[in-house]
Amino acid sequence: MNPGYAGRTELPDNLKALFRPIAMMVPNYALIAEISLFSYGFMDAKNLARKITTTFKLSSEQLSTQDHYDFGMRAVKTVIAVAGNLKREQKDLEEDQICFRALKDVNVPKFLKDDLKLFNGIVSDLFPGLIEKPVDYGILEADIRKSIRQMGLEAVNDFVRKVIQLYETTLMHSGLMLIGPTGSGKTKFDLIN
CA distance 111 to 117: 9
Per-residue confidence (pLDDT) for residue 191, from 0 to 100: 54
Note the pLDDT of residue 37.
94
- State yes or no: pLDDT of 120 exceeds 60: yes
Tell me: do 175 and 105 sit in the same domain.
no
CA distances from 156 to 94, 137, 161, 163, 192 (A): 32, 16, 9, 11, 14
Q: What band does 49 get if pLDDT is binned at 50, 70 and 90?
A: very high
User: What is the mean pLDDT of the segment spanning 121-128?
Assistant: 91
Q: What is the per-residue pLDDT across 9-47, written as a single tens digit (0 to 9) for each? A: 777 888 888 888 788 888 899 999 999 999 999 999 999
Residue 129 has pLDDT above 90, yes or no: no
Q: Could you tell me if 112 and 155 lie in one domain?
A: no
Distance CA 88, CA 91 (A): 6
Residue of 172 and 37 predicted with greater confidence: 37
* Average confidence (pLDDT) over 47-75: 89
Residue 4 domain-assigned (yes or no)? no
- Cα 124 to chain center, whole Å? 16
In a domain, 17, yes or no: no
Question: According to the model, what pLDDT value does residue 23 have?
Answer: 80
Q: Which domain holds residue 65?
A: 29-126
Q: Same structural domain for residues 115 and 161?
A: no
Mean pLDDT of 64-82: 88
Q: In Å, how far from its chain's centre is CA 29?
A: 16
Same domain, 162 and 182: yes
Check: pTM over 0.85? Answer yes or no.
no
pLDDT attached to residue 190: 57
d(CA 122, CA 54): 9
Residues 122 and 144 in one domain: no
Q: Cα–Cα distance between 47 and 88 in angstroms, integer?
A: 20
> What single string gives the DSSP state of each residue in 43-108?
TTHHHHHHHHHHHHHHHHHHSPP-TT---SHHHHHHHHHHHHHHHHH-TTS-HHHHHHHHHHHHHG
- The CATH number given to whatever domain includes residue 114 is 1.10.8.710
